[in-house]
Every structure is written in C-alpha cells, then in structure tokens.
Amino acid sequence: MTSKNISLPNAEDLLKTLAQKVQPLLQANTALVGIQSGGVWLMQKLLVLLEKDIAANAIEHGTLDVSFYRDDYEKRGLKAENRPSQIPFDVENKHIILIDDVFYTGRTTRAAMNELFDYGRPASITLVALVNRGGRELPIAPQITAADLALDASQNLQLIQNQDGTLSLELQSLNFDQSQVHKHE
C-alpha cells in the first residue's frame, strides 16, 4: 500500500531551509516546542543547527504530546503509547516556536495551543511546519514552512526517522478505510 513517490522533497534539505527561516525569529525570550513525534525530531535537529549560530546560552525547549487534548479522543481513545509532555521552562511571556512535521487539518495545532495555555500565557506562538500539505479545517496556518504541497485527502504524508537518524518523508495512499492506516511512530 506504501508508494514511494520520487518527487517528494528531501527532508534533510527542508530542515536546513527551515533552520534559516527560523533563525531570525530567535530572541532572548524564545523557546522551541516540538509536537510528538515528528515535531520533536525536527526540534532536536533544529537546536543543533541553530545553536551553532548562537553565542548565547542554549535555547530553551520542550515537547508536547497532545493526546489528552485531541478532539477525536472520544472516537479513537488514547494511543497505546503516549509520552509525557515536558515543558521545563516557564511559558509565561515566552515567544514560543511550535514545531510540527506535517501541517494538515490544524487540529493538532489547536490541541497543542490549548495544552500550552495550561502551562501559562505565552507572549506569542509561531507555528513552524516542515511541510504544509494543504487541507486545513480550522482557521489556523503555519507561519513558516519549508515546502508547500497540495495533497489529496486520500494521501497520507508523514515524516519518518530512519535507522541512521536521518529524516525522510513518506507518502502513502489511503485505501478507502482510513481507520486501517497506522501512523509510524
């Protein structure tokens, strides 16, 4: 069912583009927050790329697992695996850069924002996604992306972490029954 599409951009190249675009946003009060799991992989790589250029202290960062805030919990329940959200800094008045791998409906972002606000009142949230695949269902959009694709609802784009630690994008076609598709994590 998996169909590798050779026209997909290289995720590692996109990552570099993303780092360049995020760089100017960094200020004293900025913190990075990755959304599990793809957003966290990206954040970890971004930290390395960004901190190379920064003389100052390491950038504050955290991770979110938005399982407890999803709007499809009642339908789908909890995943067998979920990881604790870890926000080891004070969210109050921070400029948060929220990182996700693939931006699609906007529902994950909605959940992530709700969760963030339960930690405190951030000064701002900027949404960064590696790829915007189109198809949003809420008035939410990423401010920064490295690539914009127009994918059909029957296609599932996801970020994969390979054995060697590199990231790549994978496209699957969903055959009618959407509930059969498992997200790689």
Partner 1 sequence: MNNPQLDADGRLRHLLSIEGLPKRILNQILDTAESFVGVAEREVKKVPLLRGKTVCNLFFENSTRTRTTFEIAAKRLSADVISLNVNTSSQSKGETILDTVDNLIAMHADMFVVRHSQSGAAHFIAKHVPDHIHVINAGDGRHSHPTQGLLDMFTIRKYKPDLHNLRVAIVGDVLHSRVARSEIHALTTLGVPEVRVIAPKTLLPTQVEKLGVHVFHDMKAGLKDVDVVMMLRLQNERMNGAMLPSAQEYFKTYGLTQDKLNLAKPDAIVLHPGPMNRGVEIDSSVADGSQSVILPQVTYGIAVRMAVMAMLAGGQNSGSQVGSQA
Contact 21, 140 (CB under 8 A): no
Name the 3-class secondary structure at 74.
helix
CB nearer to partner 1: give 45 or 62: 62
How far apart (Å, rounded) are the C-alpha atoms in residues 66 and 49? 26
CB nearer to partner 1: give 38 or 43: 38
* Minimum CB distance to partner 1, residue 69 (Å): 6
CB nearer to partner 1: give 15 or 87: 87
- Strands (E) in the chain, as ranges, are 30-35, 60-64, 95-103, 124-132, 144-148, 155-161, 167-173
CB nearer to partner 1: give 102 or 147: 102
Structure tokens at 58: 């390491």
Structure tokens at 23: 């760089």
Chain centroid to Cα 62, Å, comes to: 12
* Minimum CB distance to partner 1, residue 11 (Å): 15
* Minimum CB distance to partner 1, residue 77 (Å): 2
* Minimum CB distance to partner 1, residue 122 (Å): 12
Nearest to 92 by CA among 119, 117, 112, 121: 121
Q: Which residues bind partner 1 (CB under 8 A)?
A: 35, 38, 65, 67-70, 72-87, 91, 100-105, 107-108, 114-115, 117-120, 156, 179-183, 185
CB nearer to partner 1: give 56 or 80: 80
CB nearer to partner 1: give 15 or 116: 116
* Minimum CB distance to partner 1, residue 115 (Å): 8
Contact 157, 151 (CB under 8 A): yes
How far apart (Å, rounded) are the C-alpha atoms in residues 116 and 71? 16
* Minimum CB distance to partner 1, residue 169 (Å): 13
